């Protein structure tokens, strides 16, 4: 009887994990991402800190998939997830939003503009370095870069607002040449970057 309960508990946990995590990368999925962003926003007031939401889109991913196949695309996405996660702090969240889009939620950042800019520069530099080495798949060398949109907040923002702002910034980065970073503060109409 206890063994049946244990099996049922394990099955339920596995089902819950599948519902909240991306099957390919094992990262939190869309629903869990929104929850984590909102939790981070709520914590900024208590901790007198800022957060950054980085939306990353793999540059030329469709061409990689079209030229080398879906299996190669899956390997590239898995490797991007592994590399980006490896350079984030353990307190940060990396999630797969959809397709070739990833979101990093970096909490407990400075509230001073100069210090915050420096912290963002360090995070983006680490991500760029991690992705700077080619990915080797089935004898092919695949060069990977990401366009990054960053939304900043220190309080009173919704998860949807931050992710939408990061998404707009990422599209601007892609439009301006790919492999770029655009930073926007949702509190200011003009943004930065």
Active site residues: 100
Q: State how far Cα 192 lies from the chain centre.
A: 20
How many helices and strands in the chain, by DSSP H and E? 6, 7
Residue 107: exposure state from Cβ atoms within 10 A (0-12, 13-18, ≥19): buried
| CA 187/CA 152 separation, integer angstroms | 8
SS3 1: coil
Q: How far is CA 90 from CA 60, 108, 130, 166, 184, in A?
A: 29, 12, 16, 21, 24
Strands 181-184 and 93-98: unpaired
For residue 120, give every residue at least 6 positions away whose Cβ sits within 8 Å of its Cβ, in sequence order, or none: 52, 109, 150, 152, 183
| CA 193/CA 185 separation, integer angstroms | 10
């Amino acid at each position: 009887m206890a063994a049946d309960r244990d099996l049922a508990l394990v099955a339920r946990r596995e089902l819950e994990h599948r519902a909240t995590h991306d099957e390919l990368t094992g990262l939190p999925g869309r629903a869990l991402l929104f929850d984590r962003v909102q939790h981070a926003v709520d914590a900024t007031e208590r901790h007198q800190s800022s957060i950054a939401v980085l939306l990353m889109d793999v540059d030329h991913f469709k061409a990689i998939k079209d030229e080398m196949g879906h299996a190669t695309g899956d390997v590239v996405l898995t490797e991007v997830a592994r590399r980006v996660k490896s350079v984030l702090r353990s307190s940060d969240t990396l999630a797969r939003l959809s397709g070739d889009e990833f979101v990093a939620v970096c909490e407990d950042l400075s509230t001073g503009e100069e210090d915050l800019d420096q912290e963002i520069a360090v995070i983006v530099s680490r991500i760029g370095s991690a992705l700077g080495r080619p990915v080797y798949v089935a004898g092919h060398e695949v060069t990977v870069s990401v366009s990054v949109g960053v939304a900043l907040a220190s309080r009173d923002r919704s998860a949807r607002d931050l992710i939408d702002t990061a998404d707009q910034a990422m599209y601007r980065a892609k439009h301006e040449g790919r492999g770029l970073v655009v930073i926007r503060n949702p509190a200011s109409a003009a943004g930065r970057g």
